[in-house]
Every structure is written in C-alpha cells, then in structure tokens.
Amino acid sequence: MGSVSSYLTYPEGRAPAASGRPSRVVKLWRVRYRTPDRRQTDKRGFRTKREAEDFLATVEVAKMRGEWVDPTRSKVTVEEWSVAWFSAQVQLKPTTLSGYRHALDKHVLPRWGRVRLLDVTHADVQAWVTGLSTTLGPSATRQTYLVLSGVLKFAVRDGRLPRNPCEDVRLPRLTKHRRGYLSHLQVAELSSELGENGDVVRFLAYTGLRWGEMAALRVGRVDLARRRLSVDEAVSEPRGSLVWGTPKTHERRSVPFPALLVDPLAQRCAGKSRDDLVFSGADGGVLRGSNFRARFFAAAVQRVRERDTDFPRITPHDLRHTAASLAVSAGANVKAVQRMLGHASAAMTLDVYADLFDDDLDAVAAALDDHTHAEVVGISWAAGPLPGITRERGQRKTPG
C-alpha cells in the first residue's frame, strides 16, 4: 500500500528573494507507491490530501485488475507513437497503407499529433468524430476514426494505456448506395462503345477479377483449353507508383471464364511469352486503371448514358459487382461466387452481395411447399387420407 504526505514548496518553483525577505510557500501533497514490479515511485503536485488519496486509490485498484500502466510511458505523443504503429502494419496491402497514410497526414495528426497518449479522452474523440462528419462522408469519417483507434489500440497492447479512449464512440450511419449491376445486353453495349478496349469490359464483367489482378495477369496463367485463369499476382497504384504483390486475400485462386472470352484472350496472348502481361498499356507496360478510366471508360459510359438514361453510372470496379450479379442469375451458389471473387469467406460474399440472393429466399419457400406436398400426398396414398386433407393438391375438406 502506498502513502500520502505533504511537502512545502514555493509558488511556481520560485526561490526565496535575494534580499532574504521570507517568501510565501504553499503546501502540496505527494503520493508514494510501488509499481507492479516493486519499484518505488511517486507523484507530486496534488493541491489537497483528498486528491492525493483518490489518486492512490485508483493506482491500487488498477494494480489489482492488472490495468496499471507506467505514466512515463504514456507521455509519448500520438504522432510519435503513430510512427511505431504504422511501421507494424506489415501485413497490409500498399493501397491500404496509402489510405492510412493519407488519413494520418490529413486528419489525425493535425488534431492529435502533439497530444500525449494519456491526454486523449473519449469525449474529445467523440467531438472530433462529430466534427469530421460535417465535412467528410460517413465512410471516410469511419475510416479516419479507425486509424486513430488503431494507433491507440496499439498503445494499449504495448502497456502504454489502460484502455482505448476510442471505444464506444458513436459513428455516423453508413448510407447504402445502389450498386450498378449491368445486364448482358448492357455489358455488350458498353463493350462496343469502347471499341478495341471493349474486351477489357467483357473480361472484368465475366470473371470478376479486381483491376490489379487483371493488370498483373500473365500469359502463362491463362488456360484457354480448360477456360481457367490462375490468379496469384496483383499490382496496385498507391499515389501513382506501381507495387506488385499477391491478391487481396493473399491466396491464389482458379477462376473460370465463359467461351465468349476465348477468342479475345487468344488474340491478347498471341505472340507473347509466358511471362508477358495479357493486358498491357500502349507502351507495353502495366495497363493502369486510373489512366484507362480517365481516357476511355468514363467517356464511354457517358455516351451510353446519353442514349439510355437507365444505364447506371459505373466505374471499372462495378464490373466486378456485375460479374457477381451475372453469376448468381446463372444459378451460382454463394460458395461458388466466393471462390470466383476471391473473398476470404462465404460470409463476406453474403454480406457484400446479400441483395443478389433475395430470390433464394423465395426459392426456399417454394421448395418447402413442394416437398411438404409431395410427402403428404405420398403418405395419404399409402395409408389413406389424413384428417382434413383430400387427395386434391393437399386441400382441406369443407365441413358438411
């Protein structure tokens, strides 16, 4: 158990006057206590004995609960600690890291950079998030908040904070946006509008590959006979620079493609070595998504929309959603769609594309009706009519 004692000091640390005249002194309180590893330490500057006793009580309770942290380790600033946190994110993709870096530099560090870890409060974080939501959309606000929360969670794990002040902060509600799913006819229309680049649209709409996976696809990974793609590489463009790596889930997958893509892929692969890129830019290098969208895709979509107002306003990534939609409409189950898209789990596929499986709910009800009727009719023919049920499509008898 620690102890509380008083001591005398001069206001603001001023020493006695040189003239020797007495200076006013103040009485303050000191708390002495032992850390969990039995080191003796103290904290000074309490103005009343009650304040000192309250502090000592919180220290002892924190020690018993295993929540005590060394105050000296919490004095590092958020900016200083964010360097350690960012360096530890080795498992993340370059694009994700680029987003984190932007959130830190643009929103987190300007507000919290000079604040010590121990001075970050739940109330201040809530006020900050509320302010962000007035200038950023709900999704961007959440992503920015998660960066600060990640920095402080890392501090908790390192024993620099007893708990994360970002916990239970109220975040803006996400608004659901209707995805732009294209029909087969719309895929063909947009493909035709893009001319010689139309096969890019058809490829993405019928394979579901991410742009970076398509851009990194090599000739040796295309099996035209079996109509299979081996997806084991991806290229991203964080802040304009090209970074090569594995697909988003870090897993290689085999993706089927329909016969209508065989000829376009054969033409793309003709005369190339196994290590050459299937889809490449005019200079033979990587086909960059940002350039393709700005130079070709956006204008083509606009021209189609001028003729057809029902045509959705889409981006190249929406073609991945289209692939999921077309696969489901063709009868693919959620597990098959998950494998095609390379999601980490079927649960993730359902979460992202739950609206595509609404018809499955109707199918479940219809199947239950059919099976129930078949079993009831079978029993009634074998053992005679069941009470209240006729042999006519399971209809109940009308009381006489």
Contact 318/180 with Cβ under 8 angstroms? yes
pTM of the model: 0.64
Average pLDDT, the chain: 86
Contact 289/259 with Cβ under 8 angstroms? no
Split at pLDDT 50, 70, 90, the class of 398 is very low
Tokens 């981006």 — which residue?
A: 315
Task: Compute the distance between CA of residue 114 and CA of residue 78 in angstroms, rounded to an integer.
Answer: 6
Task: Compute the distance between CA of residue 276 and CA of residue 280 in angstroms, rounded to an integer.
Answer: 9
pLDDT of the residue at 292: 94
pLDDT of the residue at 374: 64
Instruction: Tell me what the mean pLDDT of segment 284-291 comes to.
Output: 91
Count of structural domains, the chain: 4
Q: Write the CATH number for 234.
A: 1.10.443.10
| Per-residue pLDDT at 70 exceeds 90 | no
pLDDT of the residue at 21: 56
Structure tokens at 195: 């001319």
Beta-carbon count within 10 A of 211 CB: 25
The residue segments making up the domain with residue 152 are 78-157
Listed range (36-40, 170-174, 221-225, 268-272) with the worst mean pLDDT? 36-40
| Per-residue pLDDT at 281 exceeds 70 | yes
Task: Compute the distance between CA of residue 311 and CA of residue 181 in angstroms, rounded to an integer.
Answer: 9
For the chain, the first-to-last Cα distance in angstroms comes to 89
Residue 162 is assigned to a structural domain of this protein: no
Same domain assignment for residues 276 and 399: no
Tokens 């380790």 — which residue?
A: 73
pLDDT of the residue at 92: 85
Which is more confident, 281 or 377?
Answer: 281
Identify which of 310, 314, 349, 299 has the alpha carbon closest to the alpha carbon of residue 328: 349
Residue 329 is assigned to a structural domain of this protein: yes
Instruction: Tell me what the mean pLDDT of segment 81-94 comes to.
Output: 91
Same domain assignment for residues 39 and 141: no
Residue 54 is assigned to a structural domain of this protein: yes
Same domain assignment for residues 388 and 306: no
> Which one of 38, 68, 98 terminates a domain?
68
Same domain assignment for residues 251 and 275: yes
pLDDT of the residue at 400: 43
pLDDT of the residue at 350: 77
Same domain assignment for residues 127 and 273: no
Q: What is the pLDDT of residues 202-241, one digit of tens each?
A: 999 999 999 999 999 999 999 999 999 999 999 988 777 8
Which is more confident, 328 or 151?
Answer: 151
Listed range (12-16, 51-55, 359-363) with the worst mean pLDDT? 12-16
Instruction: Tell me what the mean pLDDT of segment 123-131 comes to.
Output: 97
pLDDT of the residue at 394: 44
Contact 204/190 with Cβ under 8 angstroms? no
Tokens 């993709």 — which residue?
A: 93
| Per-residue pLDDT at 177 exceeds 80 | no
Same domain assignment for residues 333 and 196: yes
Q: Write the CATH number for 118.
A: 1.10.150.130
Q: What is the pLDDT of residues 10-38, one digit of tens each?
A: 765 555 555 555 567 889 999 898 877 78
Residue 179 is assigned to a structural domain of this protein: no
Residue 305 is assigned to a structural domain of this protein: yes
| Per-residue pLDDT at 355 exceeds 90 | no
